[in-house]
Structure 1
Amino acid sequence: MSQPYVVRLFGSKHDLFAAALARICDAIVASFEQVAPGPDAARDLGDVYVRLLGDRDKLRVLMHGFVAGADPTFGLQARRTLVRAFEIFKELTGEDDEAARNFVASGMLINVLLAAEAPEHADEHGVGHLLVCAVGADAAAELITDAA
């Protein structure tokens, strides 16, 4: 895509990225909001999140937005998304702050591992073990197989 085309459609590359980040964050929140409340909500939220992680390009945009938090637009979007994920977890599961924090923190660890291409390098010292700890043995095996 040429720069003049980006400028014509979005005004700037910054605005293009802001639109992409907002779309991805909105999709994550909307997906979480579709989960039914109750005793299976924590598992179902985790399943939704694993499905969302299937698109590595979206994951990379999300991670870039989170680390580019010094930009007021990106930082605001990142914070809102993390807060909303925290709130949704509590609302749907009835769990406390610690459980919600663990859900969000685990999600961020998984994001970082996938952005760092951990499944593709699971044979490096400690990488495979950390991946198993983050997502569980079955999901790690699937990620590693998909990466091969």
Structure 2
Amino acid sequence: MTPSSSDVAVEQPVADPVKRLSSDARRLQILRAALAVFGARGYEGATTDEVARAAGVSQPYVVRLFGTKEALFLATIEDALARMLAGFRAALADDSEEPVGKRIGQAYVELLEIRGLHQTLAYAYLMGSHPTIGPAARRGFATMWRFMRDEMGLDADEARSFMAEGMLISTMIGLRLVDDYGSDPQITELFRSCFPTELPHVLDLVPRGAEPW
């Protein structure tokens, strides 16, 4: 029986058992795969089996390291926030003459290279009523707001505008709007407005509608 295109896209080669990774390295590998899978499927739609296949490990190994899917999602949220803040702080520490807001904005775009990072956080922000994930998502959201106010030095209106644009970009990526770039004048205009200098790079990075994640 010929596998479907989605099956082919989802399957990943199992890691060579001779090249043994430390548990910490394997954990980071699984979290990177979880970002991609949760970012595409959401919390309810994703499975630990999909994450395992994307990471090239067995599903029991994922369970052994993280326990439940809920615990894996919480760890993935924490990882996404840590990666985002690290990128932002590196941009903030750069002694470039570029304005701070532009440097942070470029760092946000560069994080598109980590497939699913923005979308995983967006999914988490929709789960406010969940008894465990909701509080974690709220803490992460508040941490990001404090970073913009205290470390970036933005006033409340500037921080609100910055976060609003970030949410817009996350929505565009999650909708796979890139599929309509070039064919829909309004969507083309939106991409060019959001990414005036980084557009070619963004078009190379963002997932298409036919991609599983």
Q: TM-score range by the shorter chain?
A: 0.7 to 0.9
Q: What do residues 98-138 of structure 1 show as CA deviations (whole Å, max 9, x unaligned)?
A: 001101111011011011112232123522222223x2333
Q: 1:87 to 1:7 in 2, by over 3 A?
A: same
Code of the aligned partner of 1:13? K
* 2:185 counterpart of 1:129: no
Between the two proteins, the alignment pairs up a number of residues equal to 147
Q: Could you tell me the TM-score, scaled by structure 2's length?
A: 0.58
Amino acid at match of 2:82: D
Consecutive unaligned residues in structure 2, runs of 5 or more: 1-51, 53-57, 209-213
| Deviation for aligned residue 1:10 | 1.6
User: Which ranges in structure 1 are unaligned for 5 or more consecutive residues?
Assistant: none
Q: Distance in 2 between matches of 1:97 and 1:125?
A: 33
Q: Decide whether the 8 Å contact of 1:90 with 1:100 is kept in 2.
A: yes
Q: What is the CA deviation profile of residues 60-102 of structure 1, one whole-angstrom value per residue up to 9, with x for unaligned ones?
A: 3222222233223322333223222222223344331000110
CA RMSD of aligned residues (A): 2.7
Q: Given residue 187 of structure 2, which amino acid in structure 1 is its aligned partner?
A: V
Amino acid across the alignment from 1:14? E
- 2:113–2:205 CA contact under 8 A, matched in 1: no
Change in 2 beyond 3 A, CA 1:131/1:75:
farther
Runs of 4+ aligned residues of structure 1 deviating over 6 Å after TM superposition are none
Aligned partners of 1:146 and 1:23: how far apart in 2?
Answer: 20
State the SS of the aligned residue for 2:109: helix
Q: Report the 3-state secondary structure (helix = DSSP H, G, I; strand = E; otherwise coil) of the residue aligned with 1:137.
A: coil
SS at match of 1:59: helix
Which stretch of structure 1 is more off in the superposition, 14-23 or 87-96?
Answer: 87-96
2:67 is equivalent to residue 7 of structure 1? no
Deviation of the 1:28 alpha carbon: 1.0
Q: Is the contact between residue 33 and residue 88 of structure 1 (CA under 8 Å) also seen in structure 2?
A: no
Structure 1 segment 58-137 matched on structure 2, within 5 A: 58-122=117-181, 123-124=183-184, 126-133=186-193, 135-137=194-196
> Could you tell me how far apart the structure 2 residues matched to 1:136 and 1:29 are?
21
Identity of aligned residues (%): 29
Distance 1:75 1:24, change over 3 A: same
Question: Based on CA coordinates, which of the two structures has the bigger radius of gyration?
Answer: 2
TM-score, reference length from structure 1? 0.80
